[in-house]
Amino acid sequence: MTGFGDSRAANGGLSFQGYVAGDILNLGLTFLDAGRSNSSELFDDLSEAAFNARSREHWPLCLENTRQSLLEQIHNWADAKDGKHIYWLKGMAGTGKSTIALTIAQQYSEKERLGASFFFSRGSGDLASAEKFAVTIASQLARNLPGFEEHVDDAVVSHPHIRKVGLYEQWEKLVLEPLSLLGKRTSSSHAVIVVDALDECNSEDDVSLLIQCLANAAAISGIYLRVLVTSRPEQLIDFGFGRISPDAREDFILHNIEHFIVDQDLKLFYEDRLVHIAERFNLGDSFISDGIIQTLVRKSDRLFIYAATACRFVYDGGPLLAQERLSSLVKLEKQSAQPEKELYKMYAAVLEQSFQQNYQPEEVARVYTAFNRVVGSIVVLSDTMTPAELSALIFEPQDKILAVLRCLYSVLDVSEQAGGRIRLVHPSFRDFLLDATKAPDRRISVDAKATHRDLLFCCLRLMKGYLKRNMCNIEPPGTRVHKIPKARIDQFISRPVQYACCNWIFHLQHSDVNLDGEFPEMIDFFHDHFLYWLETLAWIERLSEGVTMIKLLAARLTRQPSAIDTHFTLSRLKSKWKQSPKTHSPSTALSLVSDAMRFLLRNFSIMEEAPLQTYCSALLFAPQKSMIRKMYIKQLPQWIVQQPEPLENWGIHLQTLNHSADVRNVSISLDGELVASTDVRGMIYIWNATTGKKQRTIHFSWARSIAFSPGGRMIASTGRRDKELRIWDVATGKEQRVRFSGYEYRVIAIGSFRSDQQLIASGYDKRVHLWDAITGEISKAGGLRSTPSRTTPQHTNLSTFEAIFTTNKPFSLLFSVF
């Protein structure tokens, strides 16, 4: 390393100050760190996902003498030392799945046999994502399963960058392998894992992968592991569980329990809660009757969320309004044939009475406006917030927010403890508010697009007010992210600011903002705060999301549904825009966003490691005509007294994917989202094409030629001496059971797949073969003029099956059509 103009360049190899002579990205900047990591240092686990998290402190368990048969069945399954490993409890919204999951988790925790739990929650940030699933389960297993911590600590030492790899590789290294090692040492470990509301995970791809992760963990020999999963009966989840052998899983449909059993449980629930309310407020024996309870049971129509919300509504009425509220629920119009409609009618009654009973008629209009601003924000935010945090984000006084929330304790869970976040009692309340057809009074429905627009501008306003250079007041500009305690980062970058940085594009995508018109706020943001935004994302370890956000913004500007091509083909699209004399033209926005993407991609690896290098190395090596460089060149530190002569323009180089050995072959998925590469050692690497992050390594000796399937879920490879083609699962890195064999010559070139059913390949016999992906057999063959080489550009046509092979001869291409 060579520092320019400053003697503090190296800092003992732990931080980088100054810049490296040469091409930083091609060299691959390496930071050295001594000492042994362990799970406690590595895991930024999600404590809020556990069953006993503070946010679930007041969640009810199954009432005594209710759900007896089902709970007994689950206990028998969990306690068995043989039989099925997976129990899938599926049911419609409001049927009590989460209460059952919480009860089982609590009971097995008391038995000291709960291995781990993860309760997903839509609209709750990390709780709606699988990003921290593996580390959270591993962290809990390390605390709860004797002997597991030692093996997971070893895994952390062996894989120090485990947090940066894909979900399945994390699961494999942090859960599967430690469990397997533990199973070889002992046969007495018996644990239950509870996963609730799988359908509330926000990525369909991750949902499918999570099912596979859990199935693989439950099947490990030597460990008596049982996995309980709850979800709505959605098609994607049903397909995922359908891939697990019926001998390994137990399915139970909650909403198919006989009506009289559910009604009896609801009757016990209403009796318990209403008696408690009567005693709490001294309402006397006349408060409830068998007729009232029977009516409420009938209206609940097997939905426990109806019963729970109804009782909360009555309780919140206090001694003066409890009786009136109970009567209003009993008198609701004739029961609908659809249970969800009964629930929505109750939500409407709750909101109507909450407002009308607490405010004068002339005040109601202002209250509904405040309701839409506050509650509308709550239901469309991608994460939960405390009242103070929500106040900072939407620029409303906290007292005003609390005043609205006090009317809605029946449907919103607002903790009175400091730091308590606002949560929906049930996701169905969000569905009710966002669908105008479900609300009889349009004043209580939420216009999602308008609310997202409002939140977009709130995010921009907040970032413009708080983002600055050196957000965390760090002195050495080469300081690594992982050297700064998270508590310090959170101290300087508040949760509302973090939320704004990570979600302003999310709100733009779902808003009614028209980028064809005036949107000077976006141009101003890139002009004045772009580098501060990148630095902030790097400190909170979300810089890869910045790449995705800029990509989405470019897609929006080019009027495309997605921006698969990272270069965005701007030269072909700028001509389509009409100039606006009032403000910055769309072509200006396109050029600026494109330049911003190039700047981020080229410097991603160093900014991710050392955020303050955004103002040093990144700016120094940006091309002279880069718009970002011109805007921010004055941000260069004064101690850099000698600057290099950068290139004039960006050129065609977008990004570098660093390998530790020479690259042999490359394949790109059809949707442009993934890149696969092989090196001279034969390893196969899967990369995220957007962020440049390595997602998976497939350990296979001498992988020579590779090709993605059209869906990007499989990849085919052939080895140095193989007479077979092998198919790998991209997500897990596992080899599929079918091998393509029966070929007398070594396969050296793969053409392409067709509809995941067939692939084309050739070898030393100068023939092209079409292989059947189901049977693994050759179904058709054709001849070539000479032997193809390992380099294989590929093309698939819907009507014909085409492949182009290169040869070792100059200016020679081989073309084959089936």
Task: State whether residue 199 is helix, strand or coil.
Answer: helix
Query: Chain-centre distance of CA 769, in angstroms?
Result: 40
The residues that bridge with 803 in the sheet, in sequence order, are: 794, 816
Burial (CB count within 10 angstroms: exposed 0-12, middle 13-18, buried 19+), residue 336 = middle
User: Average pLDDT, stretch 308-321?
Assistant: 91
Q: What percentage of the chain carries pLDDT values higher than 70?
A: 77
Question: What does the pLDDT read at residue 807?
Answer: 43
Closest CA to 108 of 222, 228, 285: 228
The answer to whether residue 685 scores a pLDDT higher than 60 is yes
CA distances from 211 to 80, 86, 96, 218, 671 (A): 21, 10, 21, 11, 24
Task: Please give the Cα distance from 681 to 684 (Å, whole number).
Answer: 9
Query: Chain-centre distance of CA 105, in angstroms?
Result: 24
Task: Please give the Cα distance from 517 to 520 (Å, whole number).
Answer: 9
- Sign of the torsion angle spanned by Cα atoms 792, 564, 560, 714: positive
Cα within 13 Å of Cα(40), Cβ side: 4
Q: DSSP secondary structure string, 545-572?
A: HHHHHHHHHHHHHTT-S---STTTTHHH
Is 727:715 a contact under the CB 8 Å cutoff? Answer: yes
How does pLDDT run across 703-735, given as a tens digit for each residue? 667 888 877 888 888 765 556 677 888 888 888
The answer to whether residue 530 scores a pLDDT higher than 70 is yes
Task: Please give the Cα distance from 516 to 588 (Å, whole number).
Answer: 12
Is 407:325 a contact under the CB 8 Å cutoff? Answer: no
How does pLDDT run across 166-197, given as a tens digit for each residue? 899 999 999 999 999 998 887 677 899 999 99
Closest CA to 583 of 490, 647, 519, 488: 519
Residue 345 pLDDT grade (very low, low, confident, very high; cuts 50, 70, 90): confident
Q: What are phi and psi of 251, to 5 degrees?
A: -110, 140
The answer to whether residue 28 scores a pLDDT higher than 70 is no
Residue 809 pLDDT grade (very low, low, confident, very high; cuts 50, 70, 90): very low
Strands (E), 662-796: 663-668, 674-679, 684-688, 694-698, 703-708, 714-719, 725-729, 735-740, 747-754, 758-763, 767-772, 778-783
Q: Write down the domain spans for the chain.
A: 41-257, 260-370+411-443, 449-635, 663-817
Task: State whether residue 126 is helix, strand or coil.
Answer: helix
Residues 6+ apart with CB under 8 A from 654: 566, 567, 598, 601, 602
Task: Please give the Cα distance from 713 to 168 (Å, whole number).
Answer: 13
Question: What does the pLDDT read at residue 352?
Answer: 82
The answer to whether residue 117 scores a pLDDT higher than 50 is yes
Q: In 381-474, where does DSSP find H-type helix?
A: 387-394, 398-406, 427-434, 448-466
Residue 579 pLDDT grade (very low, low, confident, very high; cuts 50, 70, 90): very low
Lowest-confidence segment of 175-189, 230-244, 737-751 by average pLDDT: 737-751
Is 605:26 a contact under the CB 8 Å cutoff? Answer: no
Going by their DSSP bridges, the two strands 190-196 and 694-698 should be labelled as unpaired
- Rg of the chain (C-alpha set): 30
Question: What does the pLDDT read at residue 576?
Answer: 39
Is 664:641 a contact under the CB 8 Å cutoff? Answer: no
Question: What does the pLDDT read at residue 150?
Answer: 93
Question: What does the pLDDT read at residue 29?
Answer: 35
Question: What does the pLDDT read at residue 504?
Answer: 97
Question: What does the pLDDT read at residue 286?
Answer: 84
Task: Please give the Cα distance from 372 to 354 (Å, whole number).
Answer: 14
Q: Which residue has the higher pLDDT, 760 or 470?
A: 470
The answer to whether residue 280 scores a pLDDT higher than 60 is yes
Residue 618 pLDDT grade (very low, low, confident, very high; cuts 50, 70, 90): very high
Task: Please give the Cα distance from 115 to 189 (Å, whole number).
Answer: 10
Provide the terminal-to-terminal Cα distance of the chain, rounded to the nearest Å: 55
Q: What percentage of the chain carries pLDDT values higher than 90?
A: 45
In eight-state DSSP terms, residue 454 is: H
Is 63:269 a contact under the CB 8 Å cutoff? Answer: yes
Side chain identity at residue 765, one-letter code? D
The CATH number that domain 41-257 falls under is: 3.40.50.300
Q: Quick one: which H or E segment has residue 378?
A: helix 361-380
User: Average pLDDT, stretch 745-765?
Assistant: 56
Is 754:801 a contact under the CB 8 Å cutoff? Answer: yes
Q: Which residue has the higher pLDDT, 356 or 595?
A: 595
Query: Chain-centre distance of CA 323, in angstroms?
Result: 44
Tokens of residue 316, six digits = 């919140």
Question: What does the pLDDT read at residue 18?
Answer: 40
Task: Please give the Cα distance from 46 to 118 (Å, whole number).
Answer: 9
User: Average pLDDT, stretch 319-340?
Assistant: 81
Q: How many residues would you count in the chain?
A: 818
The answer to whether residue 333 scores a pLDDT higher than 50 is yes
∠ at Cα 580 (575, 585), nearest 5°?
Answer: 60
Q: What are phi and psi of 205, to 5 degrees?
A: -60, -40
User: Average pLDDT, stretch 273-302?
Assistant: 91
The answer to whether residue 611 scores a pLDDT higher than 60 is yes
Closest CA to 162 of 27, 13, 50, 37: 37
Q: Which residue has the higher pLDDT, 681 or 270?
A: 270
Q: Calculate the average pLDDT of the chain.
A: 81
Q: What are phi and psi of 194, to 5 degrees?
A: -115, 125
Question: What does the pLDDT read at residue 580?
Answer: 38
Cα within 13 Å of Cα(119), Cβ side: 21
How does pLDDT run across 638-669, given as a tens digit for each residue? 888 788 888 899 988 888 888 888 888 888 88
CB atoms within 10 A of CB 180: 16
CA distances from 670 to 336, 572, 597 (A): 48, 21, 22
User: Average pLDDT, stretch 471-499?
Assistant: 94
Query: What class has domain 663-817?
Result: mainly beta
497-527: b or e for each residue (b if 16 or more CB lie within 10 Å)? bbbbbbbbbbbbbbbebebeeebeebbebbe
Residues 6+ apart with CB under 8 A from 258: none
How does pLDDT run across 385-422, given as a tens digit for each residue? 999 999 999 999 999 999 889 888 889 988 766 578 89
User: Average pLDDT, stretch 605-625?
Assistant: 93
**Sheet of 725-729, strand order:** 703-708, 714-719, 725-729, 735-740
Side chain identity at residue 139, one-letter code? S
Residue 121 pLDDT grade (very low, low, confident, very high; cuts 50, 70, 90): very high
Closest CA to 428 of 98, 53, 57: 98
Residues 6+ apart with CB under 8 A from 376: 433, 446, 447, 451, 454
